[in-house]
Structure 1
Amino acid sequence: MSNKVTVLGSLNVDTILRIPRLPQPGETLKMDDIGVAGGGKGANQAISAARSKSHVTFIGGVGNDVQGEMMLKLLKEDGININNVAKLNEGTGQAFILLQESGENSIVIYGGANQAIKTTVIQNAMNDIKDSDFLVAQFETPLEVTNEAFKLARELNVKTILNPAPATDILDELKKNIDLIIPNETEAELLTGIKVVDEDTCRQAADKLIDQGINNVIITLGKQGAYYKTKDGVCELVPAFKVKAIDTTAAGDTFIGALVSKLDTSFSNLREAIIYASKASSLAVQRLGAIPSIPYKDDVEKQLNSK
């Protein structure tokens, strides 16, 4: 049976600038190539979940512009319900990605319509949230909207997953309504004050987040893998699949969307879901772009089943 997932998040048009390396202050650097693709953490996570066969509803905002039409078309192509995407007077969100030859990237974001949505979008989406197994959000939309969504989800007995990116202080009211938090090592450090470099420091950071009232924690560590810990004390570092990365842009988002598509609402299969999500992410980083790189369920399972 497929999970029903609602994603509250960002919709961005990505402009990808391929460069040998980051320029130094005052330096002019020649670009190797330029491309445009759909993106935004919310869109990436929603499409990842949809391509892993979840039934996905999106809550967010776009502008009344060609970029907005492009993003709505991309969501519809993957069968995502867009009835709760508001068309606003602000411009559609955009991201400018500096992609280095190493595969690492640096990103500058214009929030636009993503930052203009109001809490009314949550009330309008109540029936879709109520019908969901999971509600997923990031921090590329206003905090008060996320807080309202998670409060409603808790009232409706819908499990909540927060990807705290970009990292910022989490409201105490929001913490008590988070069932699973998924930061990377940088975000985990900003949230806990603990520099995350290995399994021991992952455990310390996870303990601190659990002490704050968050039941389950996954800290993604890039090439090292993903560390998880539950409120019951179950914990493990699940190694990543070793591949040659070409573009890491949507790696974390692919992981989260794939994970939520496999996860049971009891969180009893957390390790199995992490392995599936890690494989999906490993496929994404071997391709260029955000949305174009996100794999489909058949591809992921074929790779998992191959020796």
Structure 2
Amino acid sequence: MKKIVVLGSINIDTILNIARLPLPGETMAMHDRSIAGGGKGANQAIAAVRAGAETSFIAKIGKDHAADFMIDTFKNDGLNIQNVTEDNVAGTGKAYILLDDHGQNSILIYGGANQTITVEDIKNASETIKSADCLITEFETPLEASTEAFRIAKANNVLTILNPAPAKQNIPEELLKLTDIIVPNETEAQAITGIEVVAEPSMAQAAKKMHAMGVKNVIITVGANGSFYSQSEKSGFVNAYKVNTVDTTAAGDTFIGYLASKLDSDLSNIEEAMKFASKASSITVQTQGAQNSIPYVKDVEI
């Protein structure tokens, strides 16, 4: 069984259903409102464990009811949460999701306890990282913590996957050089490289620039169109599965969790892993919400 560690965020998602995204200064009525578990880190960890991997989570929560709700969710999925700790001051992270009738979303984030993860917290989880096959992180937690985690991982031959989300410019050079696979979407790829990603030639151009920054392997996800990969000796495109999209929340996180669960350490099966991840994501987008929409491996067939 693959052993995966995720360093990342925990949020409680408040989903606001609207006909379309509001214009500046506009007041709109909502169709509906709901609350669910979320956070990119938590979503990725749940995706990995539901994909069949032995998964550990490094994260921080507040001392509040939101934290209790999330811990119960993690326990129900069998996630190892020995490195999920409490912050005595900051509350559990929150996300406010504007979801339109076409399944597209815009998201506002309150970082809360997610932003209090320290290098010391990472050092306390070092044995968990050292024993893993793969470590995943994203940008909803402090960069210093992510970099320390990747240092420990690479010193122990652990595969590192960086999801550079939310989009960020000027990613530290050290973090990129410690990254085995970077997995941005088209918006994030443009933020990193300055190249507008609109078709496969521009994907290749953006990937080439990321290679020059020190990243050996690049996967760019482009939503309903699919995903592009680039390695030193080969590149290719994997088409997405065509489905009726209800909500794209957690689709990218599902992709990454399932990808990590399937990838061989030498990445020789990268296309197979991407197809598997794409299939899982196609199931996620057919249900509203984040963690509740992430499928179990028994429901993912390719």
Taking the aligned partners of 2:137 and 2:208, their CA distance within structure 1 comes to 22
Give the equivalent residue in structure 1 for 2:183.
182
Taking the aligned partners of 2:196 and 2:44, their CA distance within structure 1 comes to 26
User: How far off is 1:26 after superposition?
Assistant: 2.2
1:113 to 2:113 alignment: yes
Give the equivalent residue in structure 2 for 1:71.
70
Taking the aligned partners of 2:177 and 2:24, their CA distance within structure 1 comes to 43
> Which letter does structure 2 place at the counterpart of 1:276?
F
Give the equivalent residue in structure 2 for 1:200.
201
Give the equivalent residue in structure 2 for 1:172.
173
Give the equivalent residue in structure 1 for 2:56.
57
1:231 to 2:232 alignment: yes
TM-score (norm. length: structure 1) = 0.97
Same amino acid, percent of matched pairs: 55
Give the equivalent residue in structure 1 for 2:156.
156
> Which letter does structure 2 place at the counterpart of 1:171?
P
DSSP-derived class of the 1:29 partner: coil
> Which letter does structure 2 place at the counterpart of 1:158?
V
8 A contact 1:86–1:117 mirrored in 2: no
1:288 to 2:288 alignment: yes
User: How far off is 1:73 after superposition?
Assistant: 1.3
1:249 to 2:249 alignment: yes
User: How far off is 1:25 after superposition?
Assistant: 2.1
CA displacement 1:142-180 (0-9 Å, x = unmatched): 000001000111111111000000121210111110000
DSSP-derived class of the 2:17 partner: strand
Taking the aligned partners of 2:22 and 2:32, their CA distance within structure 1 comes to 15
Give the equivalent residue in structure 1 for 2:240.
240
DSSP-derived class of the 2:106 partner: strand
User: How far off is 1:71 after superposition?
Assistant: 1.2
8 A contact 1:3–1:55 mirrored in 2: yes
User: How far off is 1:229 after superposition?
Assistant: 0.6
The 4+ residue runs of structure 1 with deviation greater than 6 A are none
Taking the aligned partners of 2:9 and 2:99, their CA distance within structure 1 comes to 20
Give the equivalent residue in structure 1 for 2:38.
39
User: How far off is 1:97 after superposition?
Assistant: 0.3
> Which letter does structure 2 place at the counterpart of 1:108?
L
DSSP-derived class of the 2:107 partner: strand
User: How far off is 1:23 after superposition?
Assistant: 1.5
Taking the aligned partners of 2:265 and 2:171, their CA distance within structure 1 comes to 23
User: How far off is 1:244 after superposition?
Assistant: 1.1
CA displacement 1:47-82 (0-9 Å, x = unmatched): 000001000000010001111111111111111111
1:212 to 2:213 alignment: yes
User: What is the root-mean-square deviation of aligned Cα atoms in Å?
Assistant: 0.7
DSSP-derived class of the 1:37 partner: strand
**Number of paired residues?**
300
Give the equivalent residue in structure 1 for 2:15.
16
DSSP-derived class of the 2:97 partner: strand
1:133 to 2:133 alignment: yes
User: How far off is 1:101 after superposition?
Assistant: 0.3
CA displacement 1:101-152 (0-9 Å, x = unmatched): 0100000000000001111111111111111000000000000000100011
Q: Which moved more, 1:115-124 or 1:8-17?
A: 115-124
DSSP-derived class of the 2:274 partner: helix
> Which letter does structure 2 place at the counterpart of 1:204?
Q
DSSP-derived class of the 1:189 partner: helix
Taking the aligned partners of 2:62 and 2:152, their CA distance within structure 1 comes to 26
CA displacement 1:214-261 (0-9 Å, x = unmatched): 1100000011100001122x1011111111100001110010001101
> Which letter does structure 2 place at the counterpart of 1:94?
K
1:266 to 2:258 alignment: no
DSSP-derived class of the 1:167 partner: coil
Gaps of 5+ in 2: none
Taking the aligned partners of 2:202 and 2:22, their CA distance within structure 1 comes to 32
Taking the aligned partners of 1:260 and 1:24, their CA distance within structure 2 comes to 38
TM-score (norm. length: structure 2) = 0.98
Taking the aligned partners of 2:81 and 2:186, their CA distance within structure 1 comes to 32
8 A contact 1:226–1:240 mirrored in 2: yes
Taking the aligned partners of 2:274 and 2:25, their CA distance within structure 1 comes to 43
Taking the aligned partners of 1:212 and 1:28, their CA distance within structure 2 comes to 43
Give the equivalent residue in structure 1 for 2:29.
30
